[in-house]
Structure 1
Amino acid sequence: MTAPTVAEIVTFRLKEGCDPSEFARAAEAMTPFLRSTGAMISRTLSADADGLWTEFITWTSEGAAKSAAEAMFARPEAGPFMAMIDQSDMSMRHAAISLYLPPEDHAPH
């Protein structure tokens, strides 16, 4: 596996009345597209107790991350996902990865 070089960190809140479980399903529906870019290494979506969501995606390069973000808006499966996000309270940034620890093998030895 290629080691990621950049992290994409997006924080946001859902629009009032949106179901978090429904949002998680809409987010999961984006995964085939993200994988099809060939540049996504990993993806994590989380929400804290105050309703602040964080999506953390590792990419092979910042250019690949930005290209995927631009292409995403043309994808039909992005509609339900983006419609539930409160765009007025969203922040996206990219950061160079200084340390990457891949998952350990937890198989019995």
Structure 2
Amino acid sequence: MTGIIEIVHFRLTSGSSEEDFLEEAKKASRFLQSCQGFVRRHLSKGGDGAWIDHVEWTDMEAARAAADALMKAPSLAAFIAAIDASSAVMAHNRLMLMAE
């Protein structure tokens, strides 16, 4: 089994609405789907207000290229601005087991 799981833990900036953020997250999903190596994405929110963005990639190079492109995409500026950068923690892990 191969693949990379990208996990980002974050909170929204104060003043960002969940509804607006989810609309921007949909735009980000469409962007990510257009990136080479994209497999799937899940976005979840905990009861404490913390979010987890879980993206599966075919390989690390694809994950890095997509992250770089996303940060530079003018159409995703509102998505990026809604994330409290000081709370964001990103990790990349090798996929070891999957059950569906």
Equivalent position of 1:72 in the other structure? 70
Provide, for residues 67-109 of structure 1, a one-character-per-residue CA deviation record: whole Å limited to 9, x for no partner. 100111221221010011100110000000011234xxxxxxx
Identity among equivalent positions (%) equals 34
Deviation at 1:7, TM superposition (A): 0.1
Unmatched 5+ residue regions in structure 1? Answer: 103-109
Residue pairs, 1:71-90, within 5 angstroms: 71-90=69-88
Which amino acid letter does the alignment assign opposite residue 93 of structure 1? A
Q: Matches of 2:11 and 2:86 in 1, distance apart?
A: 9
Asked if 1:54 is matched to 2:55, the reply is no
Asked if 1:30 is matched to 2:25, the reply is no
Question: So what's the TM-score if we normalise by structure 2?
Answer: 0.93
Indicate the SS of the match to 1:70. Answer: helix
Which amino acid letter does the alignment assign opposite residue 79 of structure 1? A
Indicate the SS of the match to 1:66. Answer: helix
The one of 93, 96, 103 equivalent to 2:94 is 96
Q: Matches of 1:78 and 1:52 in 2, distance apart?
A: 20
Unmatched 5+ residue regions in structure 2? Answer: none
Equivalent position of 1:9 in the other structure? 7
Provide, for residues 27-71 of structure 1, a one-character-per-residue CA deviation record: whole Å limited to 9, x for no partner. 111122211113111100011111100000000001110110011
Change (3 A) 1:50 1:68: same
Q: Matches of 1:78 and 1:10 in 2, distance apart?
A: 17
Pairwise CA RMSD: 1.3
Going by fraction, where is helix more abundant, 1 or 2?
2
Q: Whose Rg is larger?
A: 1
Indicate the SS of the match to 1:77. Answer: helix
